Amino acid sequence: MSKDKKNEGKEILEELKELSEWQKRNQEYLKKKAEEEAALAEEKEKERQARMGEESEKSEDQESETDPEDEESAKEKSEEKVASSEGDKDEEEIKESGFKEDEEQDKKDTKEKAAKAKIPGLHILRALTILFPSLLLLIISAYLLSPYATMKDISIEGTVQTTADDIRQASGIQDSDYTINLLLDKAKYEERIKSNYWVESAQLVYQFPTKFTIKVKEYDIVAYYISGENHYPILSSGQLETSAVSLVSLPETYLSVLFNDSEQIKAFVSELAQISPELKAAIQKVELAPSKVTSDLIRLTMNDSDEVLVPLSEMSKKLPYYSKIKPQLSEPSVVDMEAGIYSYTVADKLIMEAEEKAKQEAKEAEKKQKEEEKKRLEEQQNKLEEERKKLEEEGNRNQTSQRSSRR
């Protein structure tokens, strides 16, 4: 029976020879593996038989008689079992080889399908790299050609001294400008808005889809230049406004400036920005008071009638000392900071001014008297010169008359 199974296994192996090279190699591998397993099985069977032999010998020692026919039948049965086990193994190996071939074929099919699927994906990717930019360009072109490309809703916030029209004009934004240009060139338009001397900073804020907001911060008014009854604002940038404001729009308290030189105003605003707000609020009026020693000397009239003389270039450095001197002043005084720092009362100042005025008047009177005496002397000299000329003319006439009579 075992021989028939072996023959059947051999026939099956011969039928499978008409296979591919890979299947043949696989078949050979499986055949070798089957032979190794068969050899291993035989060894195990021999070991088992050896163990059984040992057990039988032990049983022979215990039993006095044995049946030789039973032994032969037992051997035949064991051989049949071995042959049947080998045939079963061959059939299992053939089935396993068939299953493995099917698995390998399925793997090949899936690999081929995957390879075929990659090619369309690559083409799709290439197509997308062309179609997507083209579609995007088409959409942008359609948008730029449509009226929506120039639609803008612009609002302006933060204007007090200026108007929305002034800011719109300074920005240079036209109705025909594209909305996308405002987004891309925000910084340029913000710089244009700052060309208005009232504007300290400007911010262009976009809100989808077409709303723009221009947020403006204006310079503060720190003082007013007074000329007669006209008041011209002076900005914190040092710029002097050329248009006078109405008296109604003036605040209750403000700092008056009585000079309009642009460089001096800028220097004054710069120095003023460095002093404390309390001291700044205490100043009522500023005017030029140059001396022989200090050409940029200014006089600050305070709200409590005190006066401070200080060089314009040193105002931020010296003026804070006034806060320390003020408590020591019992009446309106003048604090002179031109060279050192000392003070005297306004009454003393008036006396000094009166004395100075008297000296000046005396000098002027003396000067006038000298001029009158000089003028009188010049008139006398002129008269004497005229008389001399008359006498010379009379002498010349007499001589001409004498000559004519002699002839």
Residue by residue, DSSP assigns 337-401 as -SSS-EEEEHHHHHHHHHHHHHHHHHHHHHHHHHHHHHHHHHHHHHHHHHHHHHHHHHHHHHHHH
Query: Is the per-residue pLDDT at 16 higher than 70?
Result: no
Give the pLDDT band of residue 295 (cuts 50, 70, 90): very high
Residue spans in the chain of domains classed CATH 3.10.20.310: 147-218
**To the nearest whole number, what is the mean pLDDT of the chain?**
80
Give the pLDDT band of residue 236 (cuts 50, 70, 90): very high
Residue spans in the chain of domains classed CATH 3.40.50.10960: 221-350
Cα–chain-centroid distance for residue 127? 39
Give the pLDDT band of residue 398 (cuts 50, 70, 90): confident
Give the pLDDT band of residue 109 (cuts 50, 70, 90): low
Task: State residue 6's pLDDT score.
Answer: 53
Query: Is the per-residue pLDDT at 43 higher than 70?
Result: yes
Residue 229 backbone dihedrals phi, psi, to 5 degrees: -100, 0
The SS3 of residue 58 is helix
Query: Is the per-residue pLDDT at 366 higher than 60?
Result: yes
Which is it for the CA torsion 274, 279, 280, 286, positive or negative? negative
Topology annotation, domain 221-350: Rossmann fold (3.40.50)
d(CA 166, CA 156): 10
Pick the more confident residue, 385 or 398.
385
Give the pLDDT band of residue 114 (cuts 50, 70, 90): low
d(CA 407, CA 327): 105
Rounded to two decimals, the pTM is 0.56
Task: State residue 365's pLDDT score.
Answer: 84
DSSP secondary structure letter of residue 172: T
Q: Note the pLDDT tens digit of each residue in 132-151.
A: 888 888 888 887 787 777 88
Q: Note the pLDDT tens digit of each residue in 170-224.
A: 999 988 888 888 888 999 999 999 999 999 999 999 998 889 999 999 999 999 9
As to burial, measured by CB atoms within 10 angstroms (0-12 exposed, 13-18 middle, 19+ buried), residue 53 is exposed
**Is 147-218 a domain of CATH 3.10.20.310?**
yes
Give, to the nearest 10 degrees, the angle between helix 186-193 and helix 164-171: 130
Query: Is the per-residue pLDDT at 86 higher than 60?
Result: no
Q: Note the pLDDT tens digit of each residue in 378-392.
A: 888 888 888 888 888
Query: Is the per-residue pLDDT at 74 higher than 50?
Result: no
What residue has token string 């051997």? 75
